[in-house]
Amino acid sequence: MIQFGVATHSGYDWAASAMQRAAKLGATVIHHVEREAIFERDAFRCYLCGTDTSKATSPFDPRSATVDHVVPLSRGGEHTLTNLRCCCLHCNSSKRDVVAA
C-alpha cells in the first residue's frame, strides 16, 4: 500500500482518495485525514526505521515520505489519525501486510 509523492498539481485530493481506498478495503472506521497532518505530527520521521523522510525528493526516492497504516486495513485497521504514521518509501515498500510490532 504505497501512496506516491506529493501531488500538488491537477487537484489530486489525497485525503479523499485515501478514504475511498479505505472503504474498498473494508475499513470499519474512516476519518478524513490530511496527509500533511500526519507528517507534521511525526516530524517527517519514519516510524519504522527512524529515517528523516523528505517531501522534496522524487516519489521514487526510498526516503520520500509516505503514509502507512500501522494495522493494515486488510486486517481490520482503521483509517484514522491514530492508525496512520509517516513512513519512508523503503519501509512502506518492504512492509506489505505485516503488522508492525
Residue placing its CB nearer to Zn ion in the complex, 14 or 44: 44
Query: For Zn ion, which is the closer residue by CB, 11 or 50?
Result: 50
Residue with Cβ nearer Zn ion (83 or 92): 92
Q: How far is the CB of 24 from Zn ion (least distance, A)?
A: 26
Shortest Cβ distance from residue 25 to Zn ion (Å)?
A: 22
Q: With the CA atoms of 25, 79, 82 and 33 taken in that order, what torsion angle do they form, in degrees rounded to the nearest 10?
A: 150
* Nine-digit cell string for 35: 496527509
Contact positions toward Zn ion, by CB under 5 A?
46, 48-49, 51, 88, 91
E strands present in the chain: 65-69, 84-88
Query: By three-state DSSP, how is residue 54 classified?
Result: strand
